[in-house]
């Protein structure tokens, strides 16, 4: 692929996702979209291959006034937005502790907030070995690096034992550890930590010998399953000790299928008012000195949706329809793999399924010969079931299973 060196950073010449998705687009232009399976796109498409745009969200956008687009927003976000994010995140649960919210340009901004404020230059940031590639990029950009624990053990269970080993290793050499966990509907595996996994995480983090900042990346939460069930881990976090600070990375990109509006938030759930206040000052400073304030119109849209019970119900209902479509694709994909003698990395729900492979580049190359475009990761093949129909899920799963033989 090739790299360029700029200011000591090793920058790939080409983004792997954009490269493969460019080849998929070229194949579609030549052969038509029915002939091509483009499972590279990290956005939800309907069964015709068109981007899902929720009409209920468009209704809220239609209520905006010119000044909602034109005016600056406060750094932390407009008050209605900050309220809306708490409703979107906590639903009916009233968290004990001190909550603070800061707007970000999508869930990506939350990761920047967390890494720049809750790790030091030169630190290692801990996360699972299967992870969104951008974690490494954001850490690198800030002079940090990523250390990983094994996400799954030999039995395909969440590997809490390895989390403990890696956390203790870092605690022995750093004053604090930033732990990034992406759940529910993790990218790229689709795994959601179970309640038992969470109990293990909480015990391990509680036993750590240094301050731990636990950042839960919930970018896909609204496509992970039943809203109450996928939020069942949140009250458990009350069991964390005083040396642990909880942050959530919220993304409206997925929740509202509005990726281009660049709207998200970092939410802090602190034990003390002083810690929450420090969070507000620190992440606000990062915002101001990077992207400054965020898209006001998107924040007003969030505010309108979550303050209007009827409109919110409409958005929920419309999203449920698409969520069910996505969950069905996942079931069909898994079933087809199973019937053809192959298994994915443990999958619960979400935009992606990953099939483990020790020759991912080779398999993806052969798939491309059949006009099936997937992303080759270091240890597997990532399929975006968000971007292909149920029929294409069957075709893709069969082709992968065949190549695995
Ligand atoms: N976290 C994960 C795991 C993701 O996959 C993504 C996007 O793909 C994000 C966060 C951030 O999304 P955005 O910045 O588009 O809201």
The domain locations on the chain are 59-309
Query: What integer pLDDT is reported at residue 1 of this predicted model?
Result: 65
CATH topology of domain 59-309: 3.40.640
Q: Where are the alpha helices (DSSP H) in 172-272?
A: 195-206, 227-230, 252-255
State the Cα–Cα distance between residues 380 and 359, nearest whole angstrom: 8
Query: What integer pLDDT is reported at residue 48 of this predicted model?
Result: 93
Query: What integer pLDDT is reported at residue 2 of this predicted model?
Result: 83
Query: What integer pLDDT is reported at residue 389 of this predicted model?
Result: 97
C-alpha 108 to ligand 1 mean position (Å): 6
The atom number, within ligand 1, closest to the CA of 131 reads: 3
Query: What integer pLDDT is reported at residue 101 of this predicted model?
Result: 98
Query: What integer pLDDT is reported at residue 13 of this predicted model?
Result: 85
pLDDT digits (tens, 9 = 90+) for 276-314: 999 999 999 999 999 999 999 999 999 999 999 999 999
Hey, which of 51, 114, 134 would you mutate to test ligand 1's pocket, going by the most ligand atoms within 8 Å of its Cβ? 134
Q: Where are the alpha helices (DSSP H) in 91-159?
A: 106-118, 134-141
Which of 89, 80, 100 minimizes the C-alpha distance to 307?
Answer: 80
Query: What integer pLDDT is reported at residue 18 of this predicted model?
Result: 87
Query: What integer pLDDT is reported at residue 99 of this predicted model?
Result: 98
Residues with CB under 6 A from ligand 1: 42, 106-108, 132, 182, 187, 217, 219, 251, 253, 259, 264
Hey, which of 218, 253, 257 would you mutate to test ligand 1's pocket, going by the most ligand atoms within 8 Å of its Cβ? 253
Q: Please identify every stretch of the chain with a pLDDT value under 50, giving residue numbers as ranges.
A: none
Strand-pairing partners, residue 248, are 216, 267
Query: What integer pLDDT is reported at residue 12 of this predicted model?
Result: 85
Query: What integer pLDDT is reported at residue 354 of this predicted model?
Result: 97
Strands 211-217 and 244-251: parallel
Compute CA distances 112 → 94, 128, 397, whole Å: 27, 18, 35
Minimal-distance CA residue to ligand 1 atom 11: 107
State the Cα–Cα distance between residues 101 and 77, nearest whole angstrom: 8
């Amino acid at each position: 692929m090739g790299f360029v060196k700029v200011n000591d950073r090793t920058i790939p010449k080409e983004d792997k996702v954009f490269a493969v998705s460019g080849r998929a687009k070229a194949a579609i232009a030549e052969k038509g979209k029915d002939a091509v399976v483009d499972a590279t796109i990290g956005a939800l498409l309907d069964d015709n291959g068109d981007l899902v745009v929720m009409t209920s969200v468009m209704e809220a956008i239609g209520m905006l006034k010119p000044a909602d687009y034109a005016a600056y927003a406060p750094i932390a976000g407009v008050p209605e937005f900050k309220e809306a994010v708490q409703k979107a995140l906590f639903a009916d649960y009233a968290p004990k502790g001190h909550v603070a919210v800061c707007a970000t340009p999508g869930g990506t901004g939350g990761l920047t907030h967390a890494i720049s404020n809750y790790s030091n230059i030169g630190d290692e940031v801990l996360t699972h070995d299967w992870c969104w590639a951008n974690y490494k990029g954001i850490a690198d950009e800030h002079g940090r690096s990523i250390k990983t624990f094994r996400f799954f053990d030999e039995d395909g269970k969440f590997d809490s034992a390895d989390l403990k080993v890696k956390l203790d290793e870092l605690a022995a050499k750093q004053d604090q550890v930033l732990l990034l966990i992406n759940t529910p509907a993790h990218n790229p595996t689709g795994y959601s930590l179970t309640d038992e996994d969470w109990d293990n995480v909480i015990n391990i983090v509680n036993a750590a010998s240094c301050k731990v900042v636990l950042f839960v990346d919930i970018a896909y939460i609204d496509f992970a399953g039943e809203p109450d069930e996928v939020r069942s881990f949140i009250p458990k976090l009350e069991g964390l000790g005083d040396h642990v600070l909880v942050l959530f990375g919220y993304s409206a990109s997925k929740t509202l299928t509005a990726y281009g509006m660049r709207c998200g938030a970092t939410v802090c759930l602190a034990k003390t008012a002083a810690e929450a206040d420090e969070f507000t000052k620190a992440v606000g400073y990062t915002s101001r000195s990077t992207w400054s304030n965020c898209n006001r119109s998107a924040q007003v849209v969030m505010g309108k949706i979550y303050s209007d019970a009827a409109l919110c119900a409409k958005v929920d209902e419309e999203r449920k329809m698409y969520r069910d479509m996505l969950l069905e694709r996942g079931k069909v994909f898994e079933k087809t793999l199973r019937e053809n003698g192959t298994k994915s990395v443990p999958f619960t729900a979400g935009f992606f399924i990953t099939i483990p492979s020790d020759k991912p580049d080779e398999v993806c190359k052969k798939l491309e010969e059949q006009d099936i475009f997937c992303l080759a990761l270091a240890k597997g093949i990532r399929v975006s079931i968000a971007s292909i129909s149920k029929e294409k899920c069957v075709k893709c799963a069969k082709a992968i299973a065949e190549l695995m033989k």
